[in-house]
Each structure stands twice: as C-alpha cells, then as structure tokens.
Structure 1
Amino acid sequence: MANPRAVARLYAETLLQVAEKHGGLDAAEDAAAWLDALADAAADPKVRAFLRAPTIEADAKRAALEAAVPGAPAWFGAFLRLLALKGRLAALPDLARTFRRLVEARRGRQPVELVFAAPPDEGSVEALRRRLEERLGHPVAPIVRIDPRVLGGVVVRVGDRRWDASVRRRLQELRRRLQTAAASAPGAR
C-alpha cells in the first residue's frame, strides 16, 4: 500500500502544475480554496462513506464533489475525476493540506498549521499570525484545522516545530504531576 503522504504530495504537485498552467498562482489559490471546502465536506462520516463506497461509480462521486464547489473550472473537474478513477478521494484532507502548503511556499509565505478544538474567530487567527510573523521574522500563512481532541487552546505547527498550548496538553501535564505527587506521598505503595 502506498504511503498516504507521498500520494497526497504527488497529486498536490500535479494539481499545482495544472493550476499554474491555467492561471498562475491565482488559479492555484482558487484550487486550494476548493480543496479546503471538499476536505471539510469529506470530514463528515456520511460523505466519507460515500466517497469510499466501491459500489458508487467514480463519475457519480466526481459529480457530487463538483456540485460542492460551484464555479470551479473544467480543469479542476478533470482533476477530481482523476482522483475518483484512481480511488484517491479518501486522500482529500491530506491532499488539501499538502496543496495549501505548496501554494503558500510559492507565494513566499511559510505555511503554519493552527489546530483548534472549534472554529476560531478571524481576530484570533489574525492575532496569532502577527505574533508568529514577529517571532519567526518572515510572512506566514495560517492553515486552520479543527480537531475536537484539542479540547481548547491551540496547537501550532511550523515545519517540524510544534507549540502546544492546548487544554488537552495541560490536562495531561496535570495528570502526570498528580501521579508523581501521589507516588511520592507518604504512605504511597
């Protein structure tokens, strides 16, 4: 079985070449927005089951996805058809993230993944973007992802660096401290 990240990268690079051929980085930005919308839709369990169903034809899946991104040009529809025919629609979330990173890198902005428990307001994302640009010393492009397991706060990923200011991490740290204190308390086993 192929490595999902390698597959996502291959398709993302291909889409970037096609988008640039059909309108440059502006077309690539549009494609990134369409992929983000499709990845969000694919996060729904019913949609995911539909996309993975072997009994549903590739063209039916492509048509459903195209309906979710009205106004997308024919070249983007052809790309969706290729994904459907190759059975790669389940890779949409990884593909969307990888493609967004490639587009941002072409624009000279470093992609920064911000993981929240719930959708943040624009002001929070903008404030984080400014603080990260000050800290890193160059432009960044926030990519917001939602993961309820975070519970609250935010996890920031920049390249191979990670800053975890999530409620989940704080609770894990509190549990570790309590366990350490309980183990060293008088009368502990």
Structure 2
Amino acid sequence: MHAASREALAAAEHRLDGVLSGSDADAKTVGAELAAFAQVLRREVSLRRALADPSAAEAARVGLVRNLVGAKLSAATVQVLETVAESRWSNPRELAGGVRTLAADALLAAAEADGKLDTVESELFATARLLDRTPELEQALGDPAAPAEAKRQLVDSVFGGKVSPLTLSLIEQVVADPAGRSVAHGLDGIAELAAKRRERSVAHVTTAVPLTDDERNQLADKLERIYGRPIAVHVEVQPNVLGGIVVKVGDEVIDGSAAGRIAALRGQLAG
C-alpha cells in the first residue's frame, strides 16, 4: 500500500476505534456492514473510482457515501465510510482494500471486547495452515467462478462448530472477497491485524515436535529481545523439518532446523 493510502487507512482506523469505543455501536454489525460495502466496491468499478478520485471535491465524495448508504447502514458504519471518502487514496484498488481491512478490524475489536482475541488469532493461523496443507480446499474456497453461497456453505460445513463464531465470520469475509490473494494469505493478514491490535508482531514457527508452554514463552522472550517489541508466537508442527525450528518474522527467516542445516551444508559442498 502506498503512502497516501496508508495515511487514509490510519485515519479510518482511528475513526473506527472512536465510534466503537465512544458509542453504543455493535462491532460485529459494523464489521458485517463494512464487509458488505467492500463487496459492492469489488463489483462496482465506477464507485471505487468515484470515491478515490482526487479531482473530486471532498464534500462530493462524502455526499456520495451518504446518498448510497446513509439510510441503509448503521450510523457508526456511515461515519467510518465518510472518513474513507474524505481521505486521499493512492488508487481505487487500495481504497477497496482499506475497506476490507476495516471490516476485519471491526470484528477483531469485537473479539477483543469479548476477551477472545487470542483465540481468534490462533484459529486464523491454524486455518491458514490447514489450507496450505489441503490445496484442493484452498482452490475450492478461492475459486472466483464459484457461487458465493456455495462457498459460504462450504466454509460452514468445514469450519462451523470447530472455530469461534467471530473466526468463522472472518473466514467468510476473506472467502467472499479474496482480492486476488489465496485464502490462506488473506487469513494470515488478518492474524497480523490481530497481533497489531495488541501492538505485537507475529512469529510463524515451524517445528518437528510441539513446543511446551515454557518453550513457547522462552522463544517469545528471546524474539522480543531480538526485535525490541513483543512477539506473538504461532507454532506449526511439520515432521519434515527433522529437528530444531524455523522462525519467520515478516520477511526474515531464522532457519535453525536440521533440514536447513543439511541444505546449507550441501550448498557449501556444491560451491
């Protein structure tokens, strides 16, 4: 996302936090309404362009939002969309992506208020890893030609009752509007947003055997000292790492696995 869009999204996130904390707004309702509007933006290219048009007056863009949804959506959602409209976005695609992010943020705020943010974050990570391991399910959920209702029913049949209702809603949001990404990638992005709400980064840890609570805590402490900020540790067990662990924080990978060391040795011998 370009600089202008990052600033616009930050302004909209600030407005979202304000309306959710300073009123009787229901975060789940706001999240659902923002997600629905994001889908409208995905379908209506002319609307995306109109709201992101830098040559249009700010009042005209805000008025467009009010005319479209002022009587249809909750007051809190309309306020957030007004901030979206009055801000300067780098391009229409990033405006639509910003609304998708705001929709996820609202549901994460609901999870935080319910004391379930940790659970939702962990479930999102686990679901993304399941999709990584089952490409046929990833393909079915991410198929742009499949009917939306059929994909929603597939989500409910696979994940319903196995994850929390808020996590299920977030999965449905990503499946309904993947924006050219894999579903797993979209879920990882929302897990990152969950960590951001607690001002933490996320470490994706791959290990041959499960970590104990003490080992997980020790690893989190070491990573916090390395990166200078709190780190949320998400663990995936994969026997093919042989031993040790692989840690990925953002774009940086720390490969301490036996498989990684063997591969490095082979590279040295080949060189």
Query: Which residue of the partner structure matches residue 131 of structure 2?
Result: 42
Query: Which residue of the partner structure matches residue 59 of structure 1?
Result: 149
Query: Which residue of the partner structure matches residue 184 of structure 1?
Result: none
Query: Which residue of the partner structure matches residue 139 of structure 1?
Result: 230
Contact 2:246–2:255 (8 Å) recurs in 1: yes
DSSP 3-state at the match of 1:157 = strand
Contact 2:203–2:248 (8 Å) recurs in 1: yes
Contact 1:150–1:166 (8 Å) recurs in 2: yes
Matches of 1:16 and 1:148, distance apart in 2? 34
Structure 1 pair 31–9 and aligned structure 2 pair: CA distance change class (3 A): farther
- Provide TM-score, normalisation by structure 2: 0.49
Structure 1 pair 143–106 and aligned structure 2 pair: CA distance change class (3 A): same
Query: Kindly, what percent of the aligned residue pairs are identical?
Result: 23
Matches of 2:178 and 2:188, distance apart in 1? 19
Query: Which residue of the partner structure matches residue 15 of structure 1?
Result: 104
DSSP 3-state at the match of 2:115 = helix
Equivalent residue letter for 1:143: H
Matches of 2:194 and 2:186, distance apart in 1? 12
Deviation at 1:18? 3.2
Equivalent residue letter for 2:212: E
Please list the CA deviations of residues 20-53 of structure 1 after superposition, one character each: whole Å capped at 9, or x if unmatched. 1575373544433442343233231332243245
Task: Determine which of 258, 261, 264 is the counterpart of 1:167.
Answer: 258
Structure 1 pair 12–37 and aligned structure 2 pair: CA distance change class (3 A): farther
Contact 2:195–2:232 (8 Å) recurs in 1: yes
Query: Which residue of the partner structure matches residue 102 of structure 1?
Result: 193
Task: Determine which of 230, 233, 246 is the counterpart of 1:155.
Answer: 246
Structure 1 pair 72–128 and aligned structure 2 pair: CA distance change class (3 A): closer
Matches within 5 A, 1:78-117: 79-86=170-177, 91-116=182-207
More deviation, 107-116/145-154: 145-154
Matches of 2:210 and 2:98, distance apart in 1? 27
DSSP 3-state at the match of 1:111 = strand
Matches of 1:28 and 1:150, distance apart in 2? 30
DSSP 3-state at the match of 2:202 = strand
Equivalent residue letter for 1:16: D
DSSP 3-state at the match of 2:248 = strand
| Unmatched runs of 5 consecutive residues or more in structure 2 | 1-93
Deviation at 1:144? 2.2
Query: Which residue of the partner structure matches residue 268 of structure 2?
Result: 177
Matches within 5 A, 1:70-81: 70=161, 72-73=164-165, 79-81=170-172
Deviation at 1:146? 5.1
Deviation at 1:101? 1.9
Contact 1:154–1:164 (8 Å) recurs in 2: yes
